[in-house]
Structure 1
Amino acid sequence: MLAETRLLSEADGDPYAIDNPQGRGDVLLVCEHASRLLPASFGSMGLSEEALASHIAWDPGALAVSKLMARRLDATLIHQRFSRLIYDCNRPPDSPGAIRDTSEIYRIPANESLSDAEKAARAKAIYFPFQNRIADEIAERAQRGQATVLVTVHSFTPVYFGTPRAVEIGILHDKDSRLADRMLGAAADTSLYRVERNEPYGPADGVTHTLLLHAEPAGLLNVMIEIRNDLIADEAGQGVAADFLSGLLTEALTQ
């Protein structure tokens, strides 16, 4: 596969990774924007180190929280190994958001004026292996009689286009709100975080793609979690968030 696409070398490795593959819990965690890593062939994509470290390249803290949640819930975690600057795995190939040539205040020179063939090659190298692995995991779990609750984990920047965001944790859903409703109910009395429904993004922004692709057609419980990234910038904050979210999920799934 890597040789065919010519975008990833053997040294780059696979486009996804799996943690705790033998997890016995019902929750299957997915982190689409886990990494800021760029394949060697892409260099810096014409971006500064500041841009490459920012939220346009990845979801800071999301993978660390996901890994902690995987331990607490005995969940399997599938996460992307390359930056969403190459391809955003939470967008289908026909979405303008799959490969952006601008993101917030940043121009992305390496993504400008790409041909359809170049875009298709990125989807083949990054998107399809990642999403196919999620589909295979769900099918394998069903075959061995293990339930699947699909939970995707993201983080968001506290200031976007100069506007501060007050929300601290977003519980997002598309048409199927069953799990989100339960989690929001469980969080109703918390003073730890400001928790809101479908904030700072919602279905109209196209952010529920992975849920729509894998969970809703099969009737699987599902939810997308967004955490403001200043709250998970260090190990202490990551641990608190992981404990809180694992607790919410556990309470919601026992209702």
Structure 2
Amino acid sequence: MSLNVEITESAENAVVKLHNAYAGEGARPKFILICEHASLFIPPELDGLGLDAAVISSHVGWDLGALALAKLLMKKLNAPLVAQQVSRLVYDCNRPPEAPSATPAKSEVFEIIGNQGLSPAARAERATKYYVPFHDMVSAVVENELKHKNQPIIVTIHSFTGKYYGQDRHVEIGILHDEDARFSDKILDLSKNDEKYKFERNQPYGPRDGVTHSLKEYALPHGLHNVMIEVRNDLIADCYMQESVAKMLANYLLAAGELMGET
């Protein structure tokens, strides 16, 4: 994507959307938000990947509540938000093209029939159609800020199911990082005495699970502070809960940014 002009709200297509693009006035954004698993949409030509609607609409097909939470944070932080607009089962934009989990053949106990037996050419076609536009959009937003001597904090927003393979998950909010833990350390320190929510480092997933691709792709090469936030989806099940969590997270993000000298 060309960076010769400011990126605008119209910079979107069927697979990725930029919300709240910087309008060219006032202070530049201190955060860039990314929501890779924002949608459950599966293009009609993929015939639902052979799945029932109930499966697609569950945590298997997308991160329930993540986009709503990300949009609330977008407003509270006045930050741009890049959101994937197709299901992660079509292509998981938090995975590189070479990763088998980019087009998973199985998710938890569910067989993803439409992803099974994909040829290398078919996988490459999916990556070209779904990953490349997303990657280009996020890269353009980040590079546009760097061009203006801004060092935004990269924040990716996810949710996770409270029961996985039949086992209850007791972690409530995961603060994830890859090799750069500076910003995560600040959030974890600030939240260690939180009376309402339980925060844990690199839970329920971590770098060993291959979930930090976006952090490695868009933050680490530029030395940008970053964090991946995982919220158990029963904590953001309605608009009131989403607002409560968004307010809390925004406060921690801003406070951590101040400690890092970024806000």
**Range class of TM-score, shorter chain:** over 0.9
Q: Which residue of 2 aligns with 1:141?
A: 145
TM-score (norm 2): 0.91
Q: Which runs of 5+ in 2 are unaligned?
A: 1-12
Aligned 8 A contact 2:96 2:102 in 1: yes
- Displacement of 1:22: 1.3
What is the count of residue pairs matched by the alignment? Answer: 244
143-152 or 203-212: bigger deviation: 143-152
Match of 1:193 among 180, 187, 197: 197
Q: Which residue of 2 aligns with 1:10?
A: none
Q: Which residue of 2 aligns with 1:22?
A: 22
User: What does residue range 229-248 of structure 1 map to in structure 2 within 5 Å?
Assistant: 229-248=233-252
16-25 or 48-57: bigger deviation: 16-25
User: Which residue identity lines up with residue 77 of structure 1 in the other structure?
Assistant: L
User: Which residue identity lines up with residue 214 of structure 2 in the other structure?
Assistant: T
95-104 or 142-151: bigger deviation: 142-151
Report the secondary structure of 1:171's partner residue: strand
User: What does residue range 40-189 of structure 1 map to in structure 2 within 5 Å?
Assistant: 40-189=44-193
54-63 or 38-47: bigger deviation: 38-47
Distance in 1 of aligned mates of 2:150 and 2:79: 12
Distance in 1 of aligned mates of 2:70 and 2:22: 16
Distance in 2 of aligned mates of 1:114 and 1:121: 10
Aligned 8 A contact 2:158 2:231 in 1: yes
- Displacement of 1:148: 1.2
Q: Which residue of 1 aligns with 2:230?
A: 226
User: Which residue identity lines up with residue 186 of structure 2 in the other structure?
Assistant: R
Identity within the alignment, %: 44
User: Which residue identity lines up with residue 44 of structure 1 in the other structure?
Assistant: G
TM-score (norm 1): 0.93
Q: Which runs of 5+ in 1 are unaligned?
A: 1-12
Q: Which residue of 1 aligns with 2:3?
A: none
User: Which residue identity lines up with residue 17 of structure 2 in the other structure?
Assistant: A
Report the secondary structure of 2:231's partner residue: strand
- Displacement of 1:145: 2.7
Q: Which residue of 2 aligns with 1:215?
A: 219
Q: Which residue of 1 aligns with 2:39?
A: 35
Distance in 2 of aligned mates of 1:90 and 1:41: 23
